[in-house]
A and B are shown apart, each in its own frame.
Chain A
Amino acid sequence: MIFFYPKLVDSYFLHLTIATFLAMILASSWDILARTGQVSVGQAGLFGIGAYTSALLYQWIHLHPILGILAGAIVAVIAAVGIGYLTLRLRGIYFSITTIAFAEALAVIWLMIPDITGGAMGVSTPPLFGGNRELAYYLVLAILVLVIFVVWLIEKSRLNFAFTAIRENEDVANVMGINPTRYKVLAFMISAFFTGLAGGFYSHYNTYIIPYEVFSLNVSIACLVMPIFGGLYTILGPIIGTILIKAIEEYLRVTFSYGHQIAYGLILVVVVLFMPDGLIGLWKKRILPLFSKKEIGEG
């Protein structure tokens, strides 16, 4: 069904689906880093690096978009290593603040060197696959499947133990033989890779990027609202959170401009206060018990 999807829906819906898949990739990759207890509010920095790397490489040397997207991801990983080793020794809020500064600084730098970056005018690229949305759909689907597969691998491997231990108590994890900085940087690198891929895809799919947009705080906030809403540290959480938020966003976009940003804020407040484990947690704690009780009662 997921493979024949493009044949079944109209172009508008296909576009919406691609945007949703892109957001899922961002949400899932944010969640990978969150598993180590680090809250990045600067994913836009990595997203923008991915977007600009592939767009500029196309502009300069006409690098094939697929290779450009990959190059964008690699540059994002390199940036993450640099930022990571500098800042991931910091904990909690200090890391978060640094990531905001990173994304904002990039936006400013981009505007300061317009000869290289195109400045406020941005960079244009020809439509991805000559504007063939179906192919774009398959590409973004492939990236999404890859990120979900990687998250699944992490959950099955020793990394899951390291990430969880660091999140729950970094000092104790350290005494138990886990190098916290190393694993946090590793998580940040994986997160950056997929965020960079998403950025690269976005630049070619959208055909046009400007610093205000790709480096904006909105992107960073979107990356974290969706997994928090859906449920942290799970495979399904970011996916479900993204679907619902994208649906709300699309509805509000046509009825109430900037309404989706208000919705982000409200969702964050409500989720943090009343359902810290997100929708997945709500399902497990409140909904499932209702059914199981019924079964016991009937049995």
Chain B
Amino acid sequence: MNDKILLQVNGLSKHFGGLAAVQNVSFNIRQGEIVSLIGPNGAGKTTVFNLLSGVYHPDSGSILLDGDDLTGKRPFEVCQKGIGRTFQIMQPFPHMTVLENIVTSSLFGRVPKISMRQAEKEAVELCKLVGLGDKQNTFPRNLTTPGQKRIEIARALAVKPKLLLLDEVMSGLTPTETIEAIKLVRHLRDKGTTIFLIEHVMKVVMGISDRVFVVHHGEKIAEGTCAEVANDPKVIKAYLGEHIEDSEESTC
């Protein structure tokens, strides 16, 4: 890991009517890091991802990726600038084969554009990488949940992102599948992709994260290594409530 800051987020806020989904959130992610974003349900994690990927425009604050200002950019522009993302609820294109799903992403997410042949070649490699090598020509509906998650990951990777946003890719997986998925994430990082993930499965978070951000009620309440965050009284309070007797069990 080096110290180059890849993603710089400053004072990000987003309101939905009277609800402050994200309030004044700032953080940095360094090149080559694996960073997790955790927090109780409804804390604003996915909103942060939606702001980063341009699905929502922030009310205030700024997003800088590798020197490019992404604030207020539309999703396809953000994608072409180098942020790939998966969705919490898997959304493959149902009438395209697995390979076509990934080719689509390769064709349009890349700058400069690549040829159809090149896109197909890369998609085939990605299929193998995420473990869908033998499922290329099936339709997404014939795949299991983890299979569909693999499509999501492959599609996000197909744009050759500088930063990969993974929204709960491990939830709903069996322990064996989870281990596979963790291996995959580590492998991706080793190949140079910076990874920012939302995760509920604490074993996963603690296992792979270099750093962890904790959000609660739309605000960032803690940041640090797994151990630092797990012992932070504010984090424990957010997860377990005010009156805690057995805080030692902690969130991990």
Q: Please report A residues at the B interface, Cβ cutoff 8 Å.
A: 157-158, 161-162, 164-165, 168-169, 171-180
Contacts and interface: CB of A to CB of B under 8 A. Distances in A.
B85 A175 contact: yes
Nearest to A159: B107
Contacts of A175: 53-55, 75-76, 78-79, 85, 87
Nearest to B78: A175
B94 interface: yes
A185 to B, nearest CB: 14
Nearest to A182: B76
In the complex, which range does the number of interface residues on chain B fall in? Answer: 20 to 34
B75 A169 contact: no
Interface of B: 53-55, 74-76, 78-80, 85, 87, 91, 93-96, 100, 103-105, 107-110, 116, 119, 155, 158-159
A161 B159 CA distance: 15
A180 B80 CA distance: 14
B75 A174 contact: yes
A177 B96 contact: no
A174 B53 CA distance: 10
A174 B95 contact: no
A171 B76 CA distance: 10
Contacts, number: 73
A145 to B, nearest CB: 25
B45 to A, nearest CB: 17
A262 to B, nearest CB: 32
A254 to B, nearest CB: 41
Contacts of A164: 93, 95-96, 100, 104
A157 B95 CA distance: 17
A171 B55 contact: yes
A161 B107 contact: yes
Name which of B96, B100, B107, B116 has the most chain A CB atoms within 10 A of its CB. Answer: B107
A177 B161 CA distance: 11
Contacts of A157: 116
A265 B85 CA distance: 44
B76 A179 contact: yes
Nearest to B90: A172
B95 A161 contact: no
B1 to A, nearest CB: 27
A164 B103 CA distance: 12
A180 to B, nearest CB: 8
- Ranked nearest first, the 3 interchain pairs of A and B with the lowest CB-CB distance are A177-B109, A177-B108, A177-B79
B69 to A, nearest CB: 18
B107 A158 contact: yes
A89 to B, nearest CB: 11
Contact of B76 (A158, A161, A174): A174
A168 B141 CA distance: 14
A209 B116 CA distance: 45
A165 B75 CA distance: 15
B55 A161 contact: no
Contact of B110 (A165, A177, A179): A177
Contacts of A179: 74, 76
Contact of B105 (A168, A169, A176, A180): A176
